[in-house]
Amino acid sequence: MSKTRVAMVTGAANGIGRAIVDRFLSDGYSVVAVDIDSAGLAVILDEIGGDRLAVATADISIRDEVAAAVQVAIDRFGGLDVLAANAAIADGEPFLEISEKSWRRIIDVNVNGTFFCIQESAKVMAAAGKGAIVVTSSTNSWYVESNLSHYNASKGGVVALMRSAAIDMAKLGIRVNAVEPSMVKTRAAFITTDPIGGPEYLKRVPMGRFAEPSEIAATIAFLASDQASYITGQTIVVDGGLTLGIDLPLPAVPLPGSARAVDLESS
């Protein structure tokens, strides 16, 4: 009988992280749910419970707390096969008003914290000779939004970190990939509940809706699975077509030099 796979999910108490926990549990994993929000983790335990779920309160920007969370996976379930490095923070501030404190906090959590999670988890995976890591980046890593310079920069850093980890650890049997969501219906994506801004934003999304957290979790589950066994160092964009290009209106008349224009001139 094969051993149950063990996954650790950061930012697990809400939004995408909670959806990842639910998806991994439904796929048969044992899961360590990690978050700085201990009350939120208590809710997960109360709602789900069971012997395949453990929780660990941790601020991922503190290495020792990350290492302690990884140890929970070892002590409770005997190892760690998958990391979903999902935890991140954001704030909206005009570029010239971003304080050093604000800049450092976002970089500390999103970049340094993701590094700590990858490295501490990979130490366990390397000893086993296999593992899968999926980080949550964002389309903001390259398709930037205004007033989010610190967040945009952090997510760009996460992608470079993911690719670096992937190339260094492929020989250890560890795959590292990323998902890049756009707007997902979570508490951090305030625009999704804005009665004016939300519909205006959706005019730019070809699929005409915001993503569900479960759709991001499904993509992460694929990258973590054996179905993605030859995929590493890659990003999957999950944005409903937002970043495909610009939706232009049709011209009122055929453009000069086109076949239609020539046909019109000769008629």
Q: What residues have CB less than 8 Å from 155, skipping those under 6 apart?
A: 88, 110, 137, 138, 140, 141, 180
What is the pTM assigned to this prediction? 0.94
- Contacts for 101-106 with beta carbons within 8 Å, 24 or more apart? 102/150, 103/150, 106/150, 106/151, 106/154
pLDDT band at residue 1 using 50, 70 and 90 as cut-offs: very low
Calculate what percentage of the chain has a pLDDT beyond 90: 84
- The residue extents of the domains of the chain are 6-266
- Which tens digit of pLDDT belongs to each residue from 32-49? 999 999 999 999 999 998
Exposed e or buried b for every residue in 28-47, given b needs 16+ CB within 10 A? ebbbbbbbbeeebbeebeee
pLDDT tens for residues 89-131? 999 999 999 999 999 999 999 999 999 999 999 999 999 999 9
Which listed residue (29, 143, 151, 201) is catalytic?
A: 151
Q: Which of 4, 63, 66, 64 is nearest to 35 (CA)?
A: 66
Judged against a pLDDT cut of 60, whether residue 2 lies above it is answered with no
User: Is residue 151 annotated as part of the catalytic site, yes or no?
Assistant: yes
Helices (H) then strands (E): counts for the chain: 9, 7
Element holding 35 (H helix, E strand): strand 30-35
The answer to whether 9 and 60 have CB atoms below 8 angstroms apart is: no
What is 6-266's CATH number? 3.40.50.720
